[in-house]
Structure 1
Amino acid sequence: MTDQTIDTTAENERPTWPALVKGFRCKCPNCGEGKLLHSYLKVNDNCSNCGEELFHNRADDGPAYLTILLVGHLLAPALHISYVNWRPDPWTMAIGFSIGCIALSLFLLPRMKGAVVAYQWARRMHGFEKSS
């Protein structure tokens, strides 16, 4: 008996890493050209370039958790190193790291949202399976 199954995964494959990079750049995970977000955190319903439907996303709190995780892992060692090596005034350190935390959080949050939406698109989650 011969196995005559046809592997159709190659034609429907959506590579995850390229989609994540496109999403981190706040671009459409399908074409990489159209804008993913139309304001700070609002996802476009469709890509303006390729027409891919993007309204299926369920990013919810995931981007915020990822942002907190990254900011914490970047600034906690920096806080320790700066205190041990230079012993700055507590107010100077508090103001400096507060500004750094806010700036890094505001920079990363839309990029994490783009990456989460792109991951859902690549894995065909939450309605993205119906798209091409």
Structure 2
Amino acid sequence: MDDLPAPATPEPAEPDRRPSVVQAGLKGLCPRCGEPTLFAGMLRFADKCSACGLDISSFNVGDGPAAFLTLILGTLVVIMAIALELTLSPPLWLHMLIWIPVTLAGTIGTLRLTKGALLAAEFRNAAREGKIDLRP
């Protein structure tokens, strides 16, 4: 059995540099090359990736991120508000004092994440007009 040749080991392939949808959203990474060039400001997308040249302006996430946040955070806030009401029965003004800032902070705080993730998902699924070059 010692005469058998050693099994051939495949060459390691170049790792995929494209970030996951979550990574792109969390870190603002370009969905094609993985460089942190997705945003030009706090919530504004860059027109183009300075590393690989991906035309980010051709993507249109529209109001999708805000709609997702409204539904998801709205559900969570309503559940928490009902739980608070059923346990402590605070006055209405206290509910407003708590839940309006929580809702605003949650929405604004996660808007960048959802915008980046939605754009990366759009890129991954080639959900825009024209042809997408997936090569870095």
TM-score tier by shorter-chain length is 0.7 to 0.9
TM-superposed deviation, 1:128: 6.6
Distance 2:51 2:130 in 1: 17
SS of residue matched to 2:112: helix
Distance in structure 2 (CA, Å) of the matches to 1:45 and 1:81: 44
- Corresponding residue for residue 19 of structure 1: 20
**2:122: which partner in 1?**
120
Q: Paired residue for 1:37?
A: 39
Q: TM-score, normalised by structure 2?
A: 0.75
**Which has the larger Rg?**
2
Q: Which deviates more from structure 2 when the two are superposed, residues 27-36 or residues 70-79?
A: 27-36
TM-score by length of 1: 0.77
- Name segments (4+ residues, structure 1) moved above 6 Å: none
1:98 Cα deviation from its structure 2 partner? 0.4
2:81 maps to 1:98: no
SS in 1 for 2:106: helix
User: Unaligned regions of 5+ residues in structure 1, if any?
Assistant: 1-12
Question: Match of 2:53?
Answer: 51
Residues paired across the two proteins, number: 117
1:21 touches 1:115 (CA, 8 Å); kept in 2?
yes
Whether the 8 Å CA contact 1:34–1:50 is kept in 2: the answer is: no
Which stretches in structure 2 are left out of the alignment for 5+ residues?
A: 1-15
Q: CA RMSD in A?
A: 2.1
Identity %: 25
